[in-house]
Amino acid sequence: AKKFGRNRYHYFTPDMQAQAQARMQRIGDLRLALSRRELCLRYQPIVDLRSGKIRKAEALVRWQHPSLGLLSPQEFIPLAEETGLIVELGNWICEQALEQTASWRRTLDPAFQISINTSPVQLCDNGTRLDAWLTWLDRLQLPGSALALEITESILMSEAASERLLAIQSMGLEVSLDDFGTGYSTLSYLKKFDIDYLKIDRSFVQSLSPGSSDFVLCEAIILMAHKLGIQVVAEGIETDTQHRYLVEMGCDYGQGYRYSKPVSADEFERLVAGIHRA
Ligand code: C2E
Ligand code: CA
Ligand code: CA
Ligand code: CA
């Protein structure tokens, strides 16, 4: 056979073939992951910067893969979105999060709120049954405000998703704009939609020092949000210095390794008990 024929680009190289096979394998595994109970949620505290108390948590999904170990969402959420599995996955995450909120509202704080990440694909799909979400809220005797949906700016651009969003808000769920400042932000969305929280992306918090453009941007975002009646969560706070600057700027909530990495439900309870006793 000719080694480098003219048509060589029409064929998979062994490498590409292996990649495609690994992908198919992972899709198959993901289909089974839910029934095999391999998925779990980790919770990262969201701290009230005025009181220092943990008032909320963000649920972050993990996949305990039988042979590959613990996989991060970046390693399987995109796949779940491409294959439509995100709908089933998202419904499972929502139900889990609601059960956890109900439990922590009894044991930790009657106003406790958990936020979950929702992808545009999931929100637009007809398989995402909002009536089911309502049924779970009812069964657990939870008000809509027990759950916040984290959405990205891109969702607000699609007609279908923005309709869904209105339906979600009419159920009383709160809405948090994730990774603020990194997408194609158009400030007019803040006027058009009733956003409850704005999450300043980690990239703005990373190199926060007086005089830096990130410092100016954080200050301005907080000021603008407050004038619009929106509360602000700063993401990716790792150091005491970052924490101090954000407190001084009047930021409402903080999240990041300075307080805790995402942890299991048990660890989360110990964390809250420790912090609130201190
Ligand atoms: P995100 O929504 O921006 O979540 C925050 C990510 O930053 C999390 O990574 C978290 O562990 C990490 N993080 C938190 N604090 C710090 C910090 O102080 N420093 C640094 N360097 N990182 C910090 P994770 O858990 O790997 O999640 C990555 C992304 O995957 C999330 O980004 C979110 O977009 C997506 N994701 C996670 N869970 C779900 C889910 O249940 N559904 C959907 N659709 N997407 C999810
Ligand atoms: Ca998020
Ligand atoms: Ca984020
Ligand atoms: Ca509002």
What's the pLDDT tens digit per position in 96-132? 999 999 999 999 999 999 999 998 888 888 777 888 8
Copy the structure tokens of residue 239.
């150091």
Q: What is the per-residue burial (b if ≥16 Cβ within 10 Å, else e) of 99-113?
A: ebbbebbeebeeebb
User: Ligand 1, atom 15: nearest CA belongs to which residue?
Assistant: 256
Residues of the chain above pLDDT 90, percent? 71
Of the listed ranges 175-184, 208-217, 226-235, 251-260, the least confidently predicted one is 175-184
Nearest residue (CA) to ligand 1, atom 3: 179
* Ligand positioned closest to the Cα atom of 243: 1
* Residue from 253, 237, 247, 152 nearest 203 by CA: 237
| SS3 at position 182 | coil
CA distance 60 to 278: 27
Residue 13 is predicted with a pLDDT of: 81
Q: Residue type at 25? A: Q
> Which range, of 21-25, 61-65, 174-178, averages the lowest pLDDT?
21-25
Q: Residue 64 pairs with which residues in a beta bridge? A: 70
pLDDT of residue 42: 98
Q: How many CB atoms lie within 10 A of CB 257?
A: 12
Task: Please name which ligand lies nearest the alpha carbon of 120.
Answer: 1
Dihedral sign computed on CA atoms, order 170, 128, 81, 61? positive
The answer to whether the beta carbons of residues 112 and 105 sit under 8 Å apart is yes
Q: What is the DSSP letter of 72?
A: P
Residues 70-88, mean pLDDT to the nearest whole number: 94
Q: What pLDDT score does 1 carry? A: 44
Q: How far apart are CA 224 and CA 268, in angstroms?
A: 32
Measured from the Cβ of residue 181, the count of other Cβ atoms closer than 10 Å reads: 17
205 in contact with ligand 1, CB cutoff 6 A? no
CB of 254 shorter than 6 A to ligand 1: no
pLDDT (0 to 100) of residue 12: 67
- Cα 260 from chain centre: 16
What are the backbone dihedrals phi and psi of residue 93, each rounded to the nearest 5 degrees, phi first? -60, -45
Length of the chain (residues): 278
Q: pLDDT at residue 64 above 60?
A: yes
DSSP string, 79-115: HHHHHSHHHHHHHHHHHHHHHHHHHHHHHT-TT-EEE
Query: What does residue 76 show for φ and ψ, rounded to 5 degrees?
Result: -145, -20
Confidence at residue 3, expressed as pLDDT on a 0 to 100 scale: 52
Q: Is 257 in the pocket of ligand 1 (CB under 6 A)?
A: yes
Q: What is the ipTM of this complex?
A: 0.96
